[in-house]
Amino acid sequence: MLGHRDSAVAAQLDRCLSGDAEPEGPEIPGLMMAAASLLPRRPISESGRQRAFDAMMREADRTARPAAGTHVEDLTDPGTHARVAQAGPSLRLRVADIEEISDERLEEIAASIAARLGQNAAPDRNQ
């Protein structure tokens, strides 16, 4: 937290940098020189700013990507489990879920669909 003296120096420096006041006190000239050393030596064009920004974003993107040849497991995609059941003589039912699909669950889903369609359900256990 800034003390009263520090905030007074900061306010004086701010007024001097904006051109509204002349440097007063022993600290201000040194701070003015430090601030002047941070200014660019020549004005930066908008196209130069855009090129610098683009280079910065390319570098950030490059460092965010894993190195070639390293495998990173994608934990955001839980994966999908897919099964196929025969829901009648000419109807194949494909079931996909993020959870494991057991034989009992597959038979239950196939029977439910077959009942709606008025056909017999038989799971295809080959897939």
- Sort 119 into a burial class: Cβ within 10 Å, 0-12 / 13-18 / 19+: middle
In a domain, 90, yes or no: yes
- Examine residue 94 and state whether it is found in any structural domain, yes or no: yes
- Measured between alpha carbons, how far is 64 from 74 in angstroms, rounded to an integer? 14
The token pair at 125 is 């256990």
- Expressed as residue numbers, the domain containing 15 is 7-37
pLDDT of residue 124: 58
Distances (CA, A) of 44 to 51, 70, 93: 11, 40, 64
Structure confidence at residue 122 (pLDDT): 57
Token output for 86: 């025969």
From first to last of the 127 residues of the chain, give the pLDDT tens digit: 556 777 888 888 888 888 888 888 788 888 888 888 887 777 778 888 888 888 888 888 887 777 666 666 666 666 778 888 776 677 777 888 878 888 888 888 877 877 777 755 555 565 5
Per the structure, how many domains does the chain have? 2
